[in-house]
Structure 1
Amino acid sequence: MTASIRTARWLALALTLAAAPALAASGPPPGFTLTDDADLAFTSPDGATRLEQYMKDNGDWDIKWQVWARRGEQMTELKPEQDYPAGFRFTSDSQWLVRMQKTGSGAQDLFLYHVENGAFVSATKQSLGDLAWAYFHSRPDTHKMKLDYHISANLVKGTEEAYRWLGVDWPNSRYLVISLSGEMDKHPKNVAVKGLADWKCRYDLTTGKFDVPKLFAKGNAEALRWEIKR
C-alpha cells in the first residue's frame, strides 16, 4: 500500500469520526440511575431507538435528570440536563424527536432533535420553544404582548399521524404544531387571570420556518383575549 493511499484512508476515517455525534459507550455518569417509571420510557415508531431517563438525587431537593437515546449498543445523551423528567414525541419516520420539558411550575420548553449519522443530536442552536416565542414576538399582531409567568411552549399531539385529527392533509413527518401560553402580572381588578392561552403556530421541519395556517386564525384571536374574570 502506497503512502498516499494510506494517507487518504486515514483522512477519510478522521472526517467520518469528526462528523459523527459524540457517543458514550458507558452511558450516564456515576450517580445517575435509570427510572423505573414506565411512562418515562419512549420508543421510536421504527423500534430502533429507546429513550431512557436517568435521575441523580444530590439531596436538599437538588435532583438532576439526563435523557439517553439507546440505539443498539450505542447510547447518546440528549442534552441539556434538566431538573425534571420529560415527555417525548417522534415523527412517523423516526427521524425527528421533540422533547417536552418542564422547566418550573406551569412552565415548559421544547427541544428538537434529528437523526444524524445514526444518532439523535440537537437540531437547533436555541430551544424550539425559544424559537417559537421569537416568532410570536416578531409578528405585528402579537409582538406587544408581554407575559410574566407560567410561560409554556407545548407540542400539540399528532406528530405521528401528521395532524390528521385537525382535518388537514399535510405530508408525513413535515410539520410540528406548537401551542404557546402564559400569564400576565398586570390586569384589571375584576380579572383574576389574564394572558395567552393556546396560541398555535406551525414549524416546518424541512425549511426551519414558522407560519400560522388559516385554520388557527379564529382560535389564535381568542387566545390573545384570554382572561378569567373574578
Structure 2
Amino acid sequence: MTAFFRTAPWLALALMLATSPTLAAAGPPPGYVLTDNEDLAFTSPDGATKLEQYMKDSEDLFGVKWQVWARRGDQMTELKPEQGYGAGFRFTSDSQWLVRMQKTGSGEQDLFLYHIENGAFVNATKKSLSDLAWAYFHSRPDTKKMKLDYHISANLMKGTEDGYRWLGVDWPNNRYLLISLSGEMDKHPKNVAVKGLADWKCRYDLKTGKFDVPKMFAKENAEALEWEIKR
C-alpha cells in the first residue's frame, strides 16, 4: 500500500501529460500523405505554428480524406474535423486564433474556429463557426424566413490579420471576424435564372462569442437579400 501511494502522483502526472493536447498525438495515422501543394501550407505570424495537410487517397472520390495537423516544435496536434477536401486558413495577427475555410462541396464552404490553449490549437466552439453564423442569420426578424437549398457557403472576409483596416474601420486588432453568407434557392420565378442570398455580412466578436451587424453593412445586406439573376 505504501508503494502505491508513493507512485500515485507520478501516475497522475503521466495521465495528465498523455491527455494534454500538445502531447496527445505524434502525427497522422498510416495511409495519410503530406501534400506537396504549397498553397495548402500555412505558418502563423509568429512563426511558431506550421499547418500541414495530409491526404488519404481512395479510388472512390467520396472516400478521399484530409487531415490538418498543427506542428509546434516537435509536437503535432490534429485540427478536427477530418474532411473530404484540403482547406484554407487565416491567423489573427497575434497568432492566437485560427480560422479554417473548409470546402465541403461544389460552391459550398464551412468555417471552423480554433484557439491556442495550453500551447496547442483546439476547437474554440462546440459547433462550427459557420453553423453559429447561420444560426444568427436565422434568428433575426429580417432574415429568419429565408430558406436556402444549395451552394450554401460561409466565407471569411479578408482583413483578419490587420483588423479590416481596408474597410476604413478602427477596430481593435485580434478582436473581430467578418463573415459573409451566401446560398441559392430551388424555387424562384420562371423569369429568374438564379435567386438567393449574396454576401450577407455579419461580425463575430472573439472576446464575447457574439454576432452583430455593423451599420456600415445595412445597405449591402438589404441588397444581398434580394439577389437574383434574371433570364
TM-score range (shorter-chain normalised) is over 0.9
How far apart in 1 are the matches of 2:77 and 2:225? Answer: 40
AA aligned opposite 1:58: S
| Residue 211 of structure 1: aligned partner | 212
Contact kept in structure 1, 2:53 and 2:68, CA below 8 Å: yes
Q: How far apart are residue 26 of structure 1 and its match? A: 2.8
Runs of 5+ consecutive residues of structure 2 not aligned to the other structure: none
| Residue 74 of structure 1: aligned partner | 75
SS in 1 for 2:112: strand
Identity, in percent, stands at 85
55-64 vs 103-112, which deviates more? 55-64
How far apart in 2 are the matches of 1:65 and 1:118? Answer: 23
How far apart in 2 are the matches of 1:128 and 1:178? Answer: 9
Q: How far apart are residue 23 of structure 1 and its match? A: 3.4
AA aligned opposite 1:109: D
The TM-score, its normalising length taken from structure 1, stands at 0.93
| Residue 65 of structure 1: aligned partner | 66
How far apart in 2 are the matches of 1:147 and 1:130? Answer: 14
Runs of 5+ consecutive residues of structure 1 not aligned to the other structure: none
Q: How far apart are residue 8 of structure 1 and its match? A: 9.6
Matched, 1:103 2:79: no
AA aligned opposite 2:58: N
Contact kept in structure 2, 1:20 and 1:116, CA below 8 Å: no
| Residue 31 of structure 1: aligned partner | 31
How far apart in 2 are the matches of 1:87 and 1:80? Answer: 14
Q: Per-residue CA shift, 1:41-94, capped at 9, x if unaligned? A: 000000000000000112222211000000000000000000000000000000
Contact kept in structure 1, 2:69 and 2:78, CA below 8 Å: yes
Q: Per-residue CA shift, 1:166-204, capped at 9, x if unaligned? A: 110000100000000000000001100000000000000
AA aligned opposite 2:133: A
AA aligned opposite 1:36: D
Contact kept in structure 1, 2:17 and 2:23, CA below 8 Å: no
Q: 1:116 to 1:140 in 2, by over 3 A?
A: same
How far apart in 2 are the matches of 1:130 and 1:225? Answer: 22
How far apart in 2 are the matches of 1:50 and 1:73? Answer: 11
Q: How far apart are residue 20 of structure 1 and its match? A: 2.9
| Residue 20 of structure 1: aligned partner | 20
The TM-score, its normalising length taken from structure 2, stands at 0.93
| Residue 156 of structure 1: aligned partner | 157
| Residue 46 of structure 2: aligned partner | 46
| Residue 194 of structure 1: aligned partner | 195
Contact kept in structure 2, 1:69 and 1:120, CA below 8 Å: yes
How far apart in 2 are the matches of 1:26 and 1:14? Answer: 16
AA aligned opposite 1:13: L
The 5-angstrom pairing of residues 146-185 of structure 1 reads 146-185=147-186
RMSD over equivalenced CA pairs, Å? 2.0
AA aligned opposite 2:175: R
AA aligned opposite 1:193: V
AA aligned opposite 2:79: L
How far apart in 2 are the matches of 1:217 and 1:8? Answer: 61
Q: 1:177 to 1:15 in 2, by over 3 A?
A: farther
AA aligned opposite 1:123: A
How far apart in 2 are the matches of 1:193 and 1:23? Answer: 49
AA aligned opposite 2:65: K
Q: Per-residue CA shift, 1:135-161, capped at 9, x if unaligned? A: 000000000000000000000010001
Contact kept in structure 2, 1:148 and 1:182, CA below 8 Å: yes
